[in-house]
Amino acid sequence: MMATLPAPSGHHRFCGRSSPPAAAPIPRSTSGRRSLRGRSSSSTCRGTREAAVARMPRLAHREVMLTLAREAEARLGGQLLPSEVPADVTWFGDGAAIGSVDVRRGAPGSSIDFMLEAWFHRTLPTGGAIDITSLIVFLNGATDAPHFVMELIQGGPSSLVVLLDLFPRRDLPLHPDYIDKYYDATGVDNHRQSIARIPQVRPYVSPSLLVRSLWSPTAVIVDVQCGERNEGVLEEIVRSQLASSAMAALDVWLEHCAGSVVEMEAAERDSLVARDKTISTTSVKRNLSANLPKMFDNGVSDRVVAQINKAFLGS
């Protein structure tokens, strides 16, 4: 599920996990047609997820996430298995705190580890609310290509923190060829520059030093501030520039990363997987396991954390 749930204090943590089968190519088409394997989820699975989506409030940033998720599903097709997340995790909570989490694992032979969609809503004692929307697709040890990460955190009606990245799995100063292959040659930095030019956008600086060390140099890490009573301005930014740049970044990832297969020595592959696992373990323990109980009651948070652990830690 969700790897980037921020703590109430505003700390954003991110994690990754890998396991090593072999990868399959990603279709170039963006027609939205899915392979037969991609359609093979039961009507119960589809109905549960569709019911959860239908119950969510209509928020512009969450609709962007759902649009990107459907595009990823269509392009990945048979590389994704049907969801096995129980109904009380695809929709949970009531009253002041509600949420939805769905996870689809990668099929055997795929380079996909899992795809996670998540949305959390918490009404604050002050009368406001926080909404956290995430789309995360992780790769396994068949490749060293970056993961895809998007998280949108709305802490007020006219403000939004945006985290969007092809999340690197190499230590970049030691691998300049990795920068060339996945960031320079793909032109993904153009989409960061496009968002940075929006007048209401300011850089966002996480208070966590660990978090700041993890992102790529092309990551979009910004705070969109539109001023009081300018909800319409924020919605227009989300539905236009942000949606366009996020879809373009996803297209780069699907085209250049998702179907990648990289030859590695066993020791090198083991090191890559161990690095991902270390980041995952740190993030889940410090962030999700610690902070979900602050948003939801123990029964709900235990169920959700269990599904998160299955996705990120394989447990």
Looking at residue 14, its pLDDT comes to 38
Task: Tell me which residue of 216, 232, 223 sits closest to 162, measured CA to CA.
Answer: 223
- For residue range 210-225, what is the model confidence (pLDDT) as tens digits? 888 899 999 999 999 9
Could you give the C-alpha distances from 156 to 100, 104, 122, 160, 261, in angstroms and in order?
Answer: 20, 31, 12, 7, 42
Q: What is the pTM of this model?
A: 0.83
pLDDT band at 30 (very low <50, low <70, confident <90, very high): very low
**Are 13 and 211 spatial neighbours (Cβ–Cβ below 8 Å)?**
yes
Q: Is residue 58 scored above 50 in pLDDT? A: yes
pLDDT of 52 reads 54
SS3 track for 207-267: CCHHHHCCCCCCCEEEEEECCCCCHHHHHHHHHHHHHHHHHHHHHHHHHHCCCCCCCCCHH
How far is residue 266 from each of residues 16, 199, 240, 262, measured CA to CA in Å? 19, 48, 44, 12
The CATH number of domain 43-298, selected from 3.40.50.720, 2.40.160.20, 3.40.1500.20, 3.40.1410.10 = 3.40.1500.20
CA gap 169, 192 in Å, rounded: 19
Condensed to tens digits (0 to 9), the pLDDT of residues 120-142 reads 888 888 888 888 899 999 999 99
pLDDT in tens, 162-201: 999 999 999 999 999 999 999 999 999 999 999 999 999 9
